[in-house]
Amino acid sequence: MEAWLNVALATPFKLETRLIPDEQRRIEQTLCELVDELGCHLVLTTGGTGPAPRDVTPDATLAVADRLMPGFGEQMRQISLHYVPTAILSRQVGAIRKQALIINLPGQPKSIKQTLEGVKDEQGNTRVHGIFASVPYCIQLLEGPYVETHGAVVVAFRPKNAYHEITL
């Protein structure tokens, strides 16, 4: 995840990393710490999104969320269905807590990259947009920082009136 963010983001960022067990209460506490105490604008979780009894990450996310962002989960499953038929078993969600966007990603590094970048053809052209194309604008709408991406990895989409002008 860190390697992908370093390649994808043009805007400098500070990374807060946590490795915690699949325990709902602990996940809830960590999400609250990252948003409420550390002021993170984006929280990405990995794994724990399946149907197994120990997969409680979406449950923890929804328990601390102020609002659900259903499009993120829908798009993650849509992307994953291009690769595996079991994508329908995923319970990935996106949600907002205060000023932060929280997204539950899959657990496998290859699947994380596919979900963030989307489906590309043999020439590298985007066939299905990855979820990260919408993340910078969502953070902006939540009054967070203006985040730019490297277009070769993922193009951040914004309406024309939401781009910052850079004058030299």
**Does 168 fall in a domain?**
no
- Is pLDDT of 53 > 70? yes
Q: How many domains does the chain have?
A: 1
**What are the φ/ψ torsions at residue 66 (nearest 5 degrees)?**
-90, -35
- Residue 97 is part of which domain span? 2-162
Q: What is the CATH number of the domain that holds 34?
A: 3.40.980.10
Domain contains 153: yes
Determine, yes or no, domain membership for 127.
yes
Residue 50 belongs to a domain: yes
> Looking at the predicted structure, is the pLDDT value of residue 167 above 60?
no
pLDDT band at 160 (very low <50, low <70, confident <90, very high): confident
Please say whether the beta carbons of 134 and 10 come within 8 A: no
Dist CA 37 CA 82 (whole Å):
38
Instruction: Quick: pLDDT tens for 59-90.
Output: 999 999 999 999 999 999 999 999 999 999 99
Residue 167 lies in a domain: no
Does residue 143 belong to any structural domain of this protein?
yes
| Residue 54, helix vs strand vs coil | coil
pLDDT top residue among 163 and 46: 46
Which pLDDT belongs to residue 165? 59
**Residue 85 has what pLDDT?**
95
Tokens of 49: 């999104």
Rounded to the nearest 5 percent, the helix, strand and coil shares of the chain are: 40, 15, 45
